[in-house]
Structure 1
Amino acid sequence: MDKKKLHLQTLALAVMLAASSLAAAAAAPPQGPGAVTLTNTAGNLWTASIGNTPLLGAFTDVFTFTNPVSAGSTAWGTLVNTSFLGYANVTFTGADLNGISLLTGALPVWPVTFNVATLLPASVTGPLKLTVHGVSNGGSYGGDINVVMSPVPEPVTYGMMIGGLGILAMLSRRRKQ
């Protein structure tokens, strides 16, 4: 009896996760391989929903982010495939963002397997390029990439700083005289 209850709970959890994934996908459709635009969501946080349904067999997807990333910025994100009883399976064999490896693996929770590629928070700069390698038997994957942009001082800030230093130099020179 307890074993049946556990299986029903697991199945209910899988259905809820699948429903939440569909709701998230409906809210922000993922951008496929190629040029991807990061969207400013709040303050310095920029994000993009990405994903693909690769052809059967081995694949390599490349996502090139069009927004420049300032030095000292931090990126993180996760790609997920949810496979039910081994159907619609995408297995990640490797992934990297500008040479920073993503952690890949599978979490089997019968009857569902979650195939995941995760980027832990990492310092990034310049144009971003995400490369995803894997094997598909007819599934798809999706996820989000997030970047906290390091603030870049405005030219006015530099002007005010130079002006302030000039005033300090002038006051110092007057005191000496």
Structure 2
Amino acid sequence: MKKALFSKVAGSLLLSAGLLASGAAAADETLTFDAAGNAIFGMTHATAGSFEDTFLFAVDTNTQAWLSGTAVVGKTFINGARSANYSISNITFFSEVNGVRTNLDTDFSSNGGIEFFPVDSLLSGTYGFTVAGSTVTAGGSYAGNLNVVTAPVPEPSTYAMLGLGLGLLAFTARRKSNNKLG
């Protein structure tokens, strides 16, 4: 009886210590797009140092999506001047299949504002992006907007009909060859 109680207490203490040690790691945030295709994201950090935040979203079945995002960082007074209290160094998109995340080619720019987007369009599935950077002072935040434009993915029968039509055009053009030239 004492052994079982001791093991439960020890397990609880180890779990608590693990949770306290991983206090800097934030849980994944799930984004939801509104009717216009916009999702708002952001995070507040209470301590100075590095951070890595992850945001998840889904692309509907039978659609192809093009995404574009922007972000702004908070400003505060540092040594008497109004300065950015955040530095976002990179934003990377990834796909997630069965819990495995694979990074996607991402265009990230911080010249005159933070802009980011996946280089290729996304098909239906689960995706996300990771915001990495650091805070200059204790406390501060950043926020952004992710916009999605979707279009239906053509059915295979549409491609078959396109191929058949092009084949008929080629056949007709071949039959109408000029007999005078040979």
The normalised TM-score by structure 2 is 0.49
Q: Could you say which structure has the larger radius of gyration?
A: 2
The normalised TM-score by structure 1 is 0.50
